[in-house]
Amino acid sequence: MTLNTIKRTVFTVLFLSVFSLGFAKDAKEGGDDKEFDANEMIMHHVKDAYGMHIITLNEGKENEHHISIPLPVILWTDNGLTTFMSSEFHHDYNGKIIVEKNGGRFVNVHEKIYQLNDGETTVSYDAEHHPTNAKMPLDFSITRNVFMMWVSVALLLFIFFSAARSYKKSENNVPSGIGSFVEPLVVFVRDEIGKPMIGEHKYKKYMPYLLTVFFFIWINNIFGLIPIFNGANLSGNIAFTLTLAFITFVITTFSGNKNYWKHIFWMPGVPVPMKIFLMPIEIIGMFTKPISLMIRLFANITAGHIIILALYSLIFIFKTEFMGLVSVPFALFIGIIEIIVTAIQAYIFTVLSALYFGMATEEAHH
């Protein structure tokens, strides 16, 4: 590292720290009346939400103003389909603002939409802060996670269609533009993941799935780190990782050959009592593999977000802007690690999926 690099790094960190001082000061002056709750702030950022909230101006003051992108709320109630924009809640998620649509009253309690029972006008809660006089309608809303998933799908389609076009255009199969950026990554997935894990002869059948999963997880991990999208934490959502792990499970189960099933139900090469003992363990193992895939991705990404947000929360917990000098460099450091983690987690998910496919298709060796 040269002296110049060190100088530049130090200046960047200092600049960012000073930048945060202003924000911290603002927040301290504005929000004196209510106690800062780090837990609530972090959970609000990590969870899914209706509408993409970008910034709040003059927080806690008279002229408080939110800037956000409203997204549609689609509900299936007893009266049929009910739709409205999330902006009708006016960024209230404490169940205070009631939206009347299609003969029903709807409130947003901690980013879950409840329909009030007939004749009720306010929400009442039980001890655990769950509404008692409201029920949840079927919710098909385009939340910020769904929205970001569509954005990432559109971006991936654009990247790969233009990469494919660049091959078609060139005469001797030399990629250009985006194609030359994508090619090494595709070759990496093929040579470092597909071939060694599945085997030279069978890897081709699984490449489309491996490539899709790799790029889909990677791009969504990166989107989760961009603050302007308010951390639409898609790959840190258990439903998203559950779906991907379930697809891996289905592919593994359906591509399992005779040898694979034999290893599960009647392990070759061990005595009979051991075979009976191993059978339930192997059957449980069939399900724990995709479950651990699901938890690994979910917990890694969510934990990264929580750490960064917790470091920033320190400024508000200690109520001094000088905490920014400590927490901003730390958050920057974790942020850089998170950029590496985005790629590593996509790699790990793909490698383990390929490993399971390889186990399922392995031929018996005598």
Partner 1 sequence: MTITGIAALGAGLAAIGAGIGIGKIGGSAMEAMARQPEMHGKIQSSALILAAFVEAVALFGVVAAIILK
Residues 64/57, Cβ–Cβ less than 8 Å: yes
Q: Tell me the DSSP string of 38-68.
A: HHHHHHHHHS--SSEEEEEESTTSTT-EEEE
The nearest distance, CB 306 to partner 1, in angstroms, is: 8
Q: By CB under 8 A, is residue 348 in contact with partner 1?
A: yes
Q: Which amino acid belongs to residue 202?
A: K
Closest by Cα among 80, 96, 78 to 88: 96
d(C-alpha 362, C-alpha 256), whole Å: 9
Window of 14-22, 24-32, 214-222, 341-349 that interacts with partner 1 by CB under 8 A? 341-349
| 298 touches partner 1 by CB under 8 A | yes
Residues facing residue 55 across a β-bridge? 67
Smallest distance from partner 1 to CB 267, Å: 21
- Least Å distance, CB 347 to partner 1, is 7
Binding to partner 1 by CB under 8 A, coded x per residue (else -) over 192-211, reads x-------------------
Among 71, 219, 351, 360, binds partner 1 (CB under 8 A): 351
Among 267, 295, 334, 359, binds partner 1 (CB under 8 A): 295
* Dihedral angle of Cα 97, 101, 106, 110, to the nearest 10 degrees: -70
Stretch that binds partner 1, among 61-69, 226-234, 256-264, 292-300 (CB under 8 A): 292-300
For partner 1, the binding residue among 181, 292, 319, 336 (CB under 8 A) is 292
Contact between 317 and partner 1 by CB under 8 A: the answer reads no
Residues that bind partner 1 (CB under 8 A): 39, 192, 292, 295-296, 298-300, 302-303, 344, 347-348, 351-352, 355
